[in-house]
Amino acid sequence: MSSEPRLVQGNEACAEGAIYAGMRFYAGYPITPSTEIAEILAKRLPQVGGKFIQMEDEIASMAAVVGASLTGVKSMTATSGPGFSLKQENIGYACMAEIPCVVVNVQRLGPSTGVATAPAQGDVMQARWGTHGDHPIIVLTPSSVKETFELTVRAFNLAEKFRVPVILLMDEVVGHMREKVILPEPGELPVYDRLKPNCSREDYYPYRADWDKAPPMAFFGEGYRYHVTGLFHDESGFATEKPEVIDLQLRRLHNKIYRHLDEIITYHSEQTEDAELVVISYGGTARAVSRAVKLARQEGRKVGIFRPQTLWPFPEEAVAELAGAGKKLLVAEMNYGQLLLEVQRVAAGRCAVTGCLQTNGELTQPETILNKIREVYEHAPGN
């Protein structure tokens, strides 16, 4: 990377961010609108000593990513809605077996094949609950090309640190958008590598860790000779059906995320201090919201924007604070109200929560959001 400004596409920023973070294994399957990530990495990875493979399907690419990560290589796949559905079983495997990896979903309009080239944000809940069983998950969502690069690096850092699959939830707008950016120089952003055991094979328990931590991870082929399974397992890694051991394992899987929210949750908030109304938005939609908020301010309305970069775990504390301060909340997203549900839950009736929801394959226009701002600002009940 040079420090010269470049015109970069969102998907390209994701690919370059991954390489910057040390990703050296990519397995994927072609799907619009994420395909550029695969195309760029097919070219770039051999140049940097990495591996690229186009697998036979989405399921296989997720499986290969987990297999590769076990050998100690930072690994990634990218897809869109239909492929994201197919990957879910093995995403759950990565949660259970605690395998660090990054899964990019450049969202398109669904359900089903939907419109392959149209923007949407309909996978917010699938990213949270797509795989079966109780599991924590980290989901990050960028709203610009530069942020795509930065959050991709961050996704790897979190995956490595907490030994989890991290979902980078992009959307077609951000994925295909081109912006002039200066990409970070090596060393400018922190890059984190997973902890390895420093004990002997005899003393190594692959899943022994403090109640809120991820255990150090041995690489396959280094002589630890351990077992990895998607079955509930004890600290030795072998299957168990003992309720008390299952309970401990599942609690630790949750605690290692939920006891470290400060490290995981980031958001961007602007002009919320004096705001009577705060628009909560993310990804491509948040860009239209910025414009709408600016216009609303020009009209003399006290409006701010709250933009979570971490969707899951949801920035509950920050949103509760807005709700507690009696600000009206307007959630703008390209779906029928997925994050809206979460905001309503957190607001718990303490303030008016309204949605500005559009799911027709077009990016919500600033005017649409501005009209909604005016309506809510004037008519929604205050505190």
Residues that bind another protein (CB under 8 A): 25, 27, 46-49, 51, 53, 55-57, 59-61, 63-73, 75, 89-90, 93, 220-231, 238-239
Dihedral sign from CA coordinates of 151, 157, 161, 167:
positive
| Min dist. Cβ of residue 197 to another protein (A) | 13
- The nearest distance, CB 75 to another protein, in angstroms, is 7
* Nearest distance from C-beta of residue 208 to another protein, angstroms: 17
Structure token digits, residue 360: 């027709």
Strand order across the 51-54 sheet: 51-54, 25-28, 75-79, 101-107, 165-171, 138-140, 310-312
65/356 with CB nearer another protein: 65
The DSSP bridge partners found for residue 53 are 27
Q: Which is nearer to another protein, 192 or 220 (CB)?
A: 220
In angstroms, give the least distance from the CB of 154 to another protein.
Answer: 23
Nearest to 77 by CA among 129, 31, 131, 124: 31
66 and 16 in contact (C-beta within 8 Å)?
A: no
Cβ burial, residue 316 (10 Å; 0-12/13-18/19+): middle
Q: How far is the CB of 185 from another protein (least distance, A)?
A: 19
- Is residue 50 within 8 Å of 25, Cβ to Cβ? yes
- Answer whether 31's CB lies under 8 Å from 61's CB: no
Q: 31 or 177: whose CB is closer to another protein?
A: 31
Instruction: Using CA atoms of 251, 257, 259, 260 in order, give the dihedral in degrees to the nearest 10.
Output: 160
Q: How far is the CB of 54 from another protein (least distance, A)?
A: 10
Select 27 or 303, whichever has its Cβ closest to another protein.
27
3-state secondary structure of 80: coil
Q: How many CB atoms lie within 10 A of CB 373?
A: 26
Q: Of 88 and 281, which CB lies nearer to another protein in the complex structure?
A: 88
30 vs 46, beta carbon nearer another protein:
46
Tokens describing residue 178: 């081109």
